[in-house]
Amino acid sequence: MSDKITIEVVYALTHEQTLLKQQLPPGATVADAVNACGILAKHPEIDLSKNKFGIFGKLTKTDAVLRDKDRVEIYRPLIADPKEVRRQRAEEGKAMKKGGGDL
């Protein structure tokens, strides 16, 4: 049995995707992986206290312990709140329905 686990750390921007493989000791956390892989030097906008993180698409905390072959995902903040966008679309739909009808 190996004394290291292999993980991936991924971060995606609209124009660039970064995927880094890293070997860490068993018991390493999400924060350990992000710090060890060097992604913070390449993307200084990543903040361990503000960004959200996931393992294979499931939200997790930075103190979560990793297993061999886990993929740590670093999520960017949302540009627009999905609830607000839906509300605005609904308002636009109501305005169009009220004004339409003259064919």
For 35-78, how does the pLDDT look when each residue is reduced to its tens digit (9 = 90+)? 999 999 999 999 888 899 999 999 999 999 999 999 999 998 77
Is the pLDDT confidence value at 100 over 90? no
pTM here?
0.72
Number of domains in the chain: 1
* Domain, as residue range, for 86: 5-99
The span from the CA of 56 to the CA of 71, in Å, is: 6
Answer whether 50's CB lies under 8 Å from 15's CB.
Answer: no
Could you give the dihedral angle defined by the CA atoms of residues 30, 31, 35 and 39, in that order, rounded to the nearest 10 degrees? 60
Is the pLDDT confidence value at 101 over 70? no
Q: How far is residue 24 CA from its own chain's centroid?
A: 21
Answer whether 13's CB lies under 8 Å from 45's CB.
Answer: no
Q: Which helix (H) or strand (E) holds 59?
A: strand 58-60
Residue 74 belongs to a domain with what CATH number? 3.10.20.30
Look at residues 45, 35, 44, 101 and name the one whose alpha carbon lies nearest to residue 77: 45
